[in-house]
Chain A
């Protein structure tokens, strides 16, 4: 079944989900959220994909929150169902066994900001503007942003972002640690693809274990986290990729030594 709001591309082990709602902003309608759940499920299952990139490229926005005209008429039950749909998407992204890179090409606000927070790594274009403007509308986010933003940038910046409701620039994002890297708008997509390609060159198994175990670091104390790491580290010694990569490393070293 074709997607109405998304465009999917798979090139050189990088699977890109490009949000294209057909308007200036990629509003996270119920349709878009459902399609995102389906797309992440398909790319996770696809053996041709090692890394997933989520973006609004080449449009002006990454994503904004819900359609406010639609949300205005929500009662508590509809608000609950909508927030639950969003949260289940974000939980799916966190559970997904492949790295997910958020390529923040432009406007990233409200629920769109929370969507970015559900990615493992965020890359920003210098056209990025991000905000959590819920306070201006008399609400707060219902997509886990109050929990995930402080875990990423610290409580101090998170409070500032929520309390001001102001838009912040890519440079602000880099300074606060909201984005990992800042790329020029002109070369943004090339830079994103090159970055994703470096991760896609690695075997899938350590990426899977690395993601799960780093995610756990937030929820367990150091000792338990290290015990979990023991299990993950040693399990990887059963993979063919590990044996092959180590052997080729040793061969390369030998060749360097005799040149």
Chain B
């Protein structure tokens, strides 16, 4: 049996591929568990500096398994949503940059998976939707919160109230997607982008990621205090000495990650 989640290492980058194309890479309980284990391992893997999530086949991810959800009681739905939310928080706290590379449809839980990543790049063939409303439910993996935070309350309501899908260009226009590439260029461009990111200091990447996420939810003055302390902490690392030394010596920096 092929694994539902494949992890391929490309240098410093871990390429995580959802690999159940026959099921549109849907987030069954088992798929979520595999992703959760994958991200737990990636968090501790010091060789991995950046992570890319993408979908194998035509879909990025079609979201929750409706066959599984159809018979759920409210209490079973709590457990299911809790498992999904745990995964999304695990992605946010993995300590390294995570890029969603949306190759095709990102629907419902698939959209929420992309939203838990640091940012999204997409193929021109990608579509995004929160179609839960059509099934009499709402998103349950943090989508009502992360979508509103990313594109604003009104756009989030439009997508969640209509359930309609938008294409990559529209997603780019509303700030859901950072960059759009042709399908045959997508993965190569994403890898190149992640390589650029991974050439930066891993400690400052981690601090940048965590302080942007944490600071977004608190008031400006306290968030700036946290930034001040994280900034100061950078000065205890070899990465800072290397970065500034290389700049002054006019050569590219090689960050040791310490």
Contact = CB atoms under 8 A, between A and B. Distances in A.
Contact of B73 (A203, A230, A237): A237
Contacts of A223: 89
A242 B137 contact: yes
B78 to A, nearest CB: 4
Nearest to B72: A237
Interface in B192-248: 213, 216-218
B157 A99 contact: yes
Contacts, number: 156
B155 A151 contact: no
A23 interface: no
A229 B148 contact: no
A205 B138 CA distance: 9
Size range of the interface on B? 35 or more
Interface residues of A, number: 51
Secondary structure class of chain A's binding surface, majority of residues: helix
Given A234-B77, A238-B74, A202 B134 contact: yes
A121 B161 contact: yes
A73 interface: no
A229 B139 contact: yes
B148 A218 contact: yes
A234 B157 contact: no
B138 A233 contact: yes
A217 B149 contact: yes
A180 B170 CA distance: 11
A167 interface: no
Secondary structure class of chain B's binding surface, majority of residues: helix
Interface stretch (A39-47, A54-62, A158-166, A208-216): A208-216
Interface in B77-105: 77-78, 81-82, 85, 88-89
Given A233-B137, A237-B77, A242-B135, A198 B164 contact: yes
A122 interface: yes
B155 to A, nearest CB: 6
A83 interface: no
B162 interface: yes
Most B CB contacts (10 A, CB to CB) among A122, A215, A226 go to A226
B133 A230 contact: no
Contacts of B82: 230
Contact of A245 (B77, B134, B138, B157): B134
Interface in A45-87: none
Contacts of B81: 229-230, 233-234
Top-6 shortest CB links A-B: A233-B140, A242-B136, A221-B217, A234-B77, A225-B145, A217-B148
Interface of B: 66-67, 69-70, 72-78, 81-82, 85, 88-89, 132-140, 142-146, 148-149, 152-158, 160-164, 174, 213, 216-218
21 contacts: A122-B154, A199-B161, A202-B161, A206-B132, A213-B144, A214-B157, A215-B153, A217-B144, A222-B146, A222-B216, A225-B142, A225-B144, A226-B145, A229-B81, A229-B139, A233-B77, A233-B81, A233-B137, A236-B77, A237-B76, A245-B135
